[in-house]
Structure 1
Amino acid sequence: MKKNLLTVLVLSSGLLLSACDNGGDGGGGSSSTSNADVNNIANPVVGTPTAYSLTDFSAAAAESVVMTYKMKGISGNEVQATALVFTPRTAAPTSGWPIVVWAHGTTGVADQCAPSRNVMNDYVKGMISKFLAEGYVVVAPDYEGLGEPTGTELHPFLNLKSEGYSITDAVVATHNWLGNKVSKKWVTVGHSQGGQAALGAAQYAARANLDYKGTVAVAPASQLSLILNAGQASVANSTPDKQIPVYASLDTFTALIAAGLRNQNPTLAYNQVFKTPTDQIAKNAESVCYDVLGNQFAVKMGQYAAVNGSLKDYPRTTDTFMSLPVVKSFLEKDSQPLQIQVKTPIVIYQGGADTTVPQVATDALLGTAKALGTQVNYITSPTWDHGSAYALNIDNIVFDVNEMMAK
């Protein structure tokens, strides 16, 4: 199942690629701490949830809906967001159904890229169906800025706090909507960007003021500078056919990062991050989804290589973009999970053959977490790549969730 980076990028529409400040709390149980920013948004569900039918869940779910809810956005102000909510076909127990949150991978930053507006891939559908069969409500947030009703906010791509609040506030809204049909117990599961978001949920779980039981993260994004630099170096002396998939993937993520940063930094220009004329492709991050954007980068590189015989001097990213203050802060802080101690259970799956989130990045993440006293059950295999680390472990992930919920 090993694939090059561009193939993984195209495959993972529900699979892929963090951000922290010290205002969060790793506990997340029913009691909050003094530094916890507890959600007290009144009437968090906006209108009545509408039916979701792009993917057929009728065999597994009694109801599949898109819920619009209020959350605290990256600006600190209240914004609206959307989430898929699936309820089991079985009757709710006396204590209510526990909640499993699915944190999706990279799709893009534009509204059309929201998972609730698209067909779900078979692996994710299969996992959600298994959770429903186990008697869990499944909540799948689009994340802040994706599919939001105003159409004016870009998704703050890989911003850990934004993702964490997207999750916590979706859980609060689901409780408001379903009432005593759901219990206070909840767990987060995610892959790549979603793995990072799930770790963000663990860090900010106290905001929900419920009974947070733990996180399962698969190939979670972290150490973004390391990933970008290692990706460059891995194919530096290769032929264009090897370089193009890697470079297109890296440039896609960089463009999405730039687009997400423009949410709060509208003066950040794409020509500060990309050389001309590639900056014109990067601008498309605001309007197309990641797979289309990746292909646009790849096509231009292919045309250049066909004429020049190599990618030497091809105008990709600027030499100084990582040192731009807003980018530097994002890479070192705002996208980096587990910078404070988290006390709730964490399971991380990571493949040694992963070229999108290489194991060296997750090893570094684990080292930082351990130094802060965070305990992680770290499960690896040298043969798993970015996709198979998730796809081959779905049953194990369901088992992990059952174990967490039982405690």
Structure 2
Amino acid sequence: MSRLASRVIALVGVFVLTITGLVTASVAWAAPQPEAGTVLSTTDITDRRDAKVAGAGKVIAMTYLSEDPKGQLIPVRGTVMIPAKAPRPGGWRVLGYAHGTAGLGDQCTVTGRMGFEGRYDDWLGPWLKDGYVITATEYAGIGGPGVHAYLDGEVSGKNVLDSVRAARTVVAQQGGSTSSGYITSGASQGGHASLWSASLAGTYAPELTNVGGVASSPPVNIADYFQLLRPGVPPVAVPDYVTYFSYVMAGLKVARPDLDVDSYLTPLGRKVVEDAKTLCYPNQGRATRGMNVGQLIARPFDQGPLIPALREATGVPTSGYGAPMLVQQGTLDPVSFAPLTTQFVDEMRTDGADVDFRQAQAGHGLGAWAETEALQWSNAQQWPGR
């Protein structure tokens, strides 16, 4: 082979490699990026024991993408319940349901077994019978990668909104259609998540129409009373309060790994908080029976960075609500204190929120009547196409 021919072949090789590299780079650059709310998988569990709530025609377990505390998209589990009732003109309305405290561990899932012994029939059944698709998230870290950051409001709020996005895809896959309008609702931890969802709706999910939000017994301003905690205080055992405390501390450790939470805890406190990562609510309650929070604390919580970090992670915005809100509160609530909720609602109103605040002589669990009241309130709002 002549020297000229060798050079020609070499130049052709370089040209081919360059073009191949440019095409590969172009394809990589153009490849679609995963988006929040993308459905990764679905399973029809309608006939599975304990899956079906009264009024549901189909029940679909799903995995979808949503954010974790680091802002990364991860697989999150959830369940979509499609009504047996035919949709309204314009499609079924959507309820983004945020469940209450069940635990942080992977086995502490709730949404795929809401039909157990009819426990949710009185709570969520009326929504289904009225023609609402219900989408319920497990929250990031429960039954999926990572550890659940309990009461990290921004994460749970986005998890709820992404479940609404995902539910619309799931319903379409099943041959149905949904309205662009949705409402969120939840109690306790779910009330906290529902508030965050409503405050984020306009900026995080602007393609959807947030009709309103419902929050029952929401834990707001919890840093205000956690800052009173110190060694030996409180000195009495309050039923389930150690469980709640342990979940808050475990969630803070996930949300703020840079914070030395253990330095505020006694050896017993560290064990209880470590157990909270895996023990679901009933088991953690049994494991901590007879303990009091004061036993778990090694130094005052108002010293150092703990309270500012807790306030940042768990605090709820008082502004940003572009749709009406219904807040329900028990005056005898031993966990989410009525005076703190009243103060929070006053701040929301000062910041321009439209809040319907209703109180009842009740404790932390308001009962199924609260969801029935929420449904009536929801139907009175302005829905797209109405």
Specify which of 363, 372, 387 is matched with residue 342 of structure 2: 363
Match of 1:217? 215
Would you say 1:392 and 2:364 are equivalent positions? no
* SS of corresponding position for 2:381: helix
Classify 1:59/1:189 alpha carbon distance in 2 versus 1 (closer, same or farther; 3 Å): closer
- Aligned-residue offset at 1:46: 0.7
**Gaps (5+ residues) in structure 2?**
1-32
Per-residue CA deviation, residues 258-317 of structure 1 (Å, 9 max, x unaligned), is 222333544656632321233222210111112221221224x3xxxxxxxxx8x97322
What is the alpha-carbon distance in structure 2 between the residues aligned to residue 169 and residue 63 of structure 1? 20
Q: Which residue of 1 aligns with 2:42?
A: 48
Alignment counterpart, residue 78 of structure 1, candidates 62, 73, 76: 73
- What residue is the counterpart of 2:275 in the other structure? 284
By how many angstroms is 1:88 displaced? Answer: 0.6
Unmatched runs of 5 consecutive residues or more in structure 1: 1-38, 238-242, 302-310
Is 1:256 aligned to 2:247, yes or no? yes
Q: Which residue pairs with 2:99 in the alignment? A: 104
Alignment check: 8 A CA contact 1:154 1:259 kept: no
* Contact 2:264–2:301 (CA under 8 A) maintained in structure 1: yes
Distance 2:80 2:114 in 1: 15
Provide the C-alpha distance between the structure 2 equivalents of 1:58 and 1:298, rounded to a whole number of angstroms. 32
- For 2:180, the aligned partner's letter is K
Which of 51, 55, 59 aligns to 1:60? It is 55
Which of 314, 317, 320 is matched with 2:297 structurally? Answer: 317
Which residue of structure 1 lines up, in the alignment, with residue 8 of structure 2? none
Question: 1:384–1:123: structure 2 CA closer, same or farther, 3 Å change rule?
Answer: farther
What's the TM-score once normalised by structure 1's chain length?
A: 0.77
Matches within 5 A, 1:31-42: 41=35
* CA deviation vs aligned residue, 1:49-85 (integer Å, no higher than 9, x gap): 3416342526521111211001132211111101111
Is the Cα contact below 8 Å between 1:272 and 1:321 reproduced in 2? no
Give the counterpart letter for 2:143 in structure 1. G
Aligned partner of 1:271 among 262, 266, 270: 262
Aligned counterparts of 1:278 and 1:40: Cα–Cα separation in 2: 40
Aligned to 1:294: 285
**Partners of 1:359 and 1:42 in 2: how far apart?**
35
Aligned counterpart for 2:130 among listed residues 130, 134, 137: 134
Which residue of structure 1 lines up, in the alignment, with residue 314 of structure 2? 335
Could you say which residue in structure 2 is the equivalent of 1:172?
Answer: 165
1:160, distance to aligned residue in structure 2 (A): 0.9
Aligned to 1:159: 152
Q: SS of 2:122's equivalent?
A: helix
Counterpart residue identity of residue 181, structure 1:
S
Contact 2:230 2:298 in 1 (8 A): no
Report how many residues are paired.
Answer: 344
TM-score by length of 2: 0.80
| Contact persistence 2:255–2:313 (CA under 8 A) | no
Task: Label 1:253 to 1:147 Cα distance change in 2 as closer, same or farther (>3 A).
Answer: same
Q: Structure 2: which amino acid aligns with 1:320?
A: P
Instruction: Evaluate the alpha carbon distance shift between residue 324 and residue 140 of structure 1 in structure 2; reply closer, same or farther with a 3 A threshold.
Output: farther
- Shift of the 68–321 alpha-carbon distance from structure 1 to 2, 3 Å rule, reads same
Using the alignment, how far apart are the partners of 1:284 and 1:66 within structure 2? 28
AA paired with 1:244? A
Greater CA radius of gyration, 1 or 2? 2
Q: Do the aligned partners of 2:318 and 2:348 also contact (CA within 8 Å) in 1?
A: yes
Distance 1:290 1:56, change over 3 A: closer
Query: Aligned equivalents of 2:54 and 2:348: distance in 1?
Result: 40
Greater Cα offset, 253-262 or 159-168: 253-262
Aligned partner letter, 2:299? D
Higher relative contact order (CA 8 A, sep 6+): 1
> Is the 1:100–1:138 Cα contact (8 Å) retained in structure 2?
yes
Q: Hey, what's the Cα distance between the residues in 2 that align with 1:279 and 1:402?
A: 46
Residue deviations 1:231-277, cap 9 Å, x none?
A: 999x957xxxxx2235x51x322321222233354465663232123
Q: Hey, what does 2:11 align to over in structure 1?
A: none
**The 10-residue stretch of structure 1 (54-63 or 370-379) with the greater mean CA deviation from structure 2:** 54-63
Contact 1:227–1:358 under 8 Å retained in 2: no
* Equivalent residue, structure 1, for 2:25: none
